[in-house]
Amino acid sequence: MEIFLDSFFNFQIMSEASPLLIRGLGTTALLCLVVIPLGLIGGLTVALMALSRSPWLRWGTIALIDFFRAVPPLVLLIFIYSGLPFADIELSPFTAVCVGFFLNNSAYYAEIYRAGIESVGVGQMEAARSTGLKKIQALVYVVLPQATRNVLPDLLSNTIEVVKLTSIASVVALQELLYSADMARSVTYNSSPIVMAAGIYLLILWPVVRMLSNLEHKVGK
């Protein structure tokens, strides 16, 4: 028991590592602030492209969505970070992560928005248009608010996944929360910093996961 506490809940090591971890948490937060809005905007754009009336644009977009859903995010990230320099495109870790996340998240958010927009009856669009709204106005004021409400649990669930996914940025040496924790682990030969990072993730995400569960049960009823 003592060995267990000493290797996983060593408070002395935790307190020594905490400034590093807090800085890491800041980077994680900044990353989330950039990639979540980017993904939402990209996803909405891609969803509208996937619902276009032109079959070329529609099928092209769907192929692109499936392509980015098939590539594991870590593979995409490593390809961008260490493959692209061979083509003279060198990106900083932060930019590489943002680009990779933008491509991956847009595909996932697009699928959700697409389902949401399809769940709103065609009659809504027709009714809005017949009151004299332009197509874009009808989309923004009538269709999208309903679509978003219908897929709110999925949007939230995907956003949780995005926040968790930021941890893979540690693989390309971006000094976010997990990277800092792992660095502290390798210096101290003790896993307590990783337990601490896990605790921070839990503290932030557990309430959101709970909220999501309640939301899912409510929508299901």
Partner 1 sequence: MNTSETFSRWDLFTETFFNQRLIDEYSGAIAKGILITCEIAVLVVFTGIALGLLLAMLRSYRFLPINVFISCFVDILRSLPPLVLILLAYFGLPSIGFSMSGFLVLWLVLSLILAAFAEEIFWAGILSIRRGQWEAARSTGLGHTQTIVYVIIPQAIRMTVAPLTNRTIAITKNTALGTVIGVGEILNQASTAQSFSGNATPLMMGAIAYIVLFIPVVAIGRWIETRFAWRRI
Residues interacting with partner 1, by CB under 8 A? Answer: 3-4, 7-8, 66-67, 69-76, 78-79, 82-83, 86-87, 160-161, 164-168, 170-171, 178, 181-182, 185, 190-191, 194-195, 197-198, 201-202, 205-206, 208-210, 213, 216-217, 220
The residue with tokens 């529609």 is 58
Minimal distance, residue 16 CB to partner 1, in Å: 18
Nearer to partner 1, 128 or 174 (CB): 174
State both tokens at 212: 């999501």
DSSP element (H, E) containing 47 = helix 11-50
Whether 77 contacts 146, CB under 8 Å: no
Nearer to partner 1, 8 or 94 (CB): 8
Minimal distance, residue 73 CB to partner 1, in Å: 8
Nearer to partner 1, 82 or 137 (CB): 82
Minimal distance, residue 40 CB to partner 1, in Å: 19
Distances in whole angstroms, Cα of residue 65 to Cα of each of 76, 121, 124, 191, 208: 14, 24, 27, 38, 27
Minimal distance, residue 125 CB to partner 1, in Å: 22
The residue with tokens 């800085």 is 23
Q: What's the distance, Cα to Cα, between the start and end of the chain in Å? A: 46
